[in-house]
């Protein structure tokens, strides 16, 4: 299963672990993803999405339906048919 937010598109990035002696080894920074069920009363649907915590905060602020409309207006693909 991929570690990508379905709404924001956040994905793992690559960086370095740096030791005290300044040796560098590759590592991955993983996004903070949560699998969550959402109910959309406007569509009378329940959807399960894998979202980042940043997307969750935005959903709490705007509401899921408004956030999906905003993403659709920006031209991003959304996993729910509106």
CA proximity to 10, closest of 37, 33, 28, 38: 33
Domain assignments of the chain as residue spans, ordered by start: 13-73
Please state, rounded to an integer, the average pLDDT across all residues of the chain: 94
What's the pLDDT score for residue 82?
A: 80
Note the CATH number of domain 13-73.
2.30.170.40
In this prediction, residue 58 has a pLDDT band, given cuts at 50, 70 and 90, of: very high
What's the pLDDT score for residue 1?
A: 65
Q: Measured between alpha carbons, how far is 18 from 52 in angstroms, rounded to an integer? A: 27
């Amino acid at each position: 299963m991929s570690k990508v937010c379905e709404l924001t598109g956040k994905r793992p990035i690559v960086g370095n672990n740096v030791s005290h002696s300044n040796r560098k080894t590759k590592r991955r920074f993983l996004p903070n993803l949560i699998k969550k069920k959402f109910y959309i009363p406007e569509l009378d649907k329940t959807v399960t999405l894998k979202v980042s915590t940043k997307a969750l905060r935005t959903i709490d602020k705007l509401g899921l339906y408004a956030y999906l409309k905003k993403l659709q207006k920006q031209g991003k693909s959304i996993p729910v048919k509106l």
